[in-house]
Amino acid sequence: MERRLVVWPGWLGGPDDAPRPEWDSPAGEWLAQAQVERLVAPEQVSRTPEVAWFGLEPHLYTTEDGPLAVGAMGKDFPGPEGARDTLFALDWMTLDADNQLALMNAPTGEAWQALTAALKPLSTPRLTLAAVRGHCALAWHQGSLDLGVLAPAEAAGKAWLSALPQGDGEPMLRRFIDDGINILMEHEINRRRVDEGHAPWLVLWPWGPGFRPDWPSFGMPFGSPLGVVTSQRRVRGIAYWLGVPEQALDCRLEVMPTPPDDSEEREYTWREWAESNLDPRAGKEAARISVVHTTHEGQPGEVVGLMAQGGGDLRAGNGLPFDARALDERRAPRTGLVEAVRQALRAPLGSTDTHA
């Protein structure tokens, strides 16, 4: 039997937010009747809370954003992943008129291809710059963790010269950032963006340093192999280091993108997925789908969310609407996220799955 856990991080909002609208479509009307099967309780605080979505205790599987960025590239990462290589995530930022760092969405498509190609000279015998599958990462071979590096959100609003890395490897990492700014500042794509009044991509910021995690193999805790379907960098990285393939297997975890800012776009995205995956026609054999919505606050997995579950029918629950209003209700049982995931993905008794 096909078993799918679908996670929508950040889609719920808070209890005071307006409820999800009833959409004018068969799947929309059906989803408006979905009911909460359980409330998902917080897990222990961890640097990798998304590990709970794999049915594992997050505090036992911790790492930093650098190793996760490298893991998101999978076997396409162009350099070695030695146990003593320091791995960094690389995120795009810009500089304002006062030379202060500001957050920036990553370029996409041809812009991403052109800008990352221009940055290839930043690689040295000690540093490998990788740009693969829409992600960027950096490996410092035989590196160190005795250094201070600000996350992009911490560096934003600071003068870039005052926010640079400090400690071991400081001159090398500062030169990497400085040389990158010089290359990007002169690139025709950024010159055109400035002429059009848009912020240019000027900084490729290294952060989240860590060594490759030494995690045990994932195995088959749900009775059959687990696959992962997602575009999320952190979740892809976790899957890689656990040895979980990015494949749409019969037993799978799907982690959806964070919600768009525009309310109409959010509605369209959710409705499009629902109409493709949830069929309201009675009597049709369907997958056993469990849907988890989490709130905006905190890291995904650290906050209370909602789970609806059913064999193609999410209407069998506790009479609570599947939206933010249910967060303050006490009628539905509360279950730890790890246990909720295990119950959702476990093969049913009497399963004919050859791995069960």
Query: What pLDDT score does 8 carry?
Result: 80
Average pLDDT, the chain: 82
Query: What pLDDT score does 278 carry?
Result: 64
Helices (H) and strands (E) in the chain, counts: 9, 14
Answer whether residue 270 shows pLDDT above 90: no
Asked whether the whole model's pTM tops 0.95, one would answer no
**In angstroms, rounded to a whole number, what is the distance separating the alpha carbons of residues 332 and 337?**
14
Region 335-351: what's the mean pLDDT? 77
Place of tokens 């933010």: 324
Query: What pLDDT score does 17 carry?
Result: 57
Answer whether residue 297 shows pLDDT above 90: no
Q: Which range is most confident: 33-47, 244-258, 269-283?
A: 244-258
Question: In Å, what is the CA distance from 246 to each residue of 231, 235, 242, 262?
Answer: 10, 10, 11, 29
**Greater model confidence, 217 or 305:** 217
Query: What pLDDT score does 6 carry?
Result: 86
Query: What pLDDT score does 339 carry?
Result: 86
Answer whether residue 274 shows pLDDT above 80: no
Query: What pLDDT score does 126 carry?
Result: 94
**Greater model confidence, 344 or 160:** 160
| DSSP output for 257-281 | PPPPSSHHHHHHHHHHHHHHH----
pLDDT digits (tens, 9 = 90+) for 223-263: 889 999 999 999 999 999 999 999 999 899 999 887 777 77
Answer whether residue 307 shows pLDDT above 50: yes
**Greater model confidence, 98 or 268:** 98
Range in 56-60, 243-247, 327-331 the model is least confident about: 327-331
| Cβ–Cβ under 8 Å, residues 101 and 203 | yes
Report residue 354's pLDDT band, with 50, 70 and 90 as the boundaries: very low
Q: Which residues neighbour 136 within 8 Å (Cβ) at sequence distance 6 or greater?
A: 69, 89, 90, 91, 92, 106, 116, 129, 130, 204
Query: What pLDDT score does 103 carry?
Result: 96
Q: Which residues neighbour 270 within 8 Å (Cβ) at sequence distance 6 or greater?
A: 8, 11, 20
**In angstroms, rounded to a whole number, what is the distance separating the alpha carbons of residues 324 and 16?**
7
Query: What pLDDT score does 257 carry?
Result: 82
> How big is the chain, counted in residues?
356
| DSSP output for 27-58 | HHHHHTT-B-SEEEEP----S-GGGGGGTS-G
Place of tokens 């710059």: 129
**In angstroms, rounded to a whole number, what is the distance separating the alpha carbons of residues 73 and 216?**
20
Q: Which of helix, strand or coil describes residue 286?
A: coil
Query: What pLDDT score does 317 carry?
Result: 57
Query: What pLDDT score does 76 carry?
Result: 82
Q: Which of helix, strand or coil describes residue 316?
A: coil
Query: What pLDDT score does 138 carry?
Result: 96
**In angstroms, rounded to a whole number, what is the distance separating the alpha carbons of residues 328 and 12?**
13
**In angstroms, rounded to a whole number, what is the distance separating the alpha carbons of residues 310 and 35?**
10
For the chain, give the percent of residues with pLDDT over 90: 49
Report residue 314's pLDDT band, with 50, 70 and 90 as the boundaries: low
Find how far residue 18's CA is from the centre of its chain.
25
Region 98-120: what's the mean pLDDT? 96
Query: What pLDDT score does 268 carry?
Result: 78
Q: Which range is most confident: 36-50, 64-78, 161-175, 295-309?
A: 161-175
| Cβ–Cβ under 8 Å, residues 290 and 307 | yes
Query: What pLDDT score does 262 carry?
Result: 76
Side-chain-side CA neighbours of 192 within 13 Å: the count stands at 4
**Domain ranges within the chain, ordered by starting residue:** 3-62+216-345, 66-210
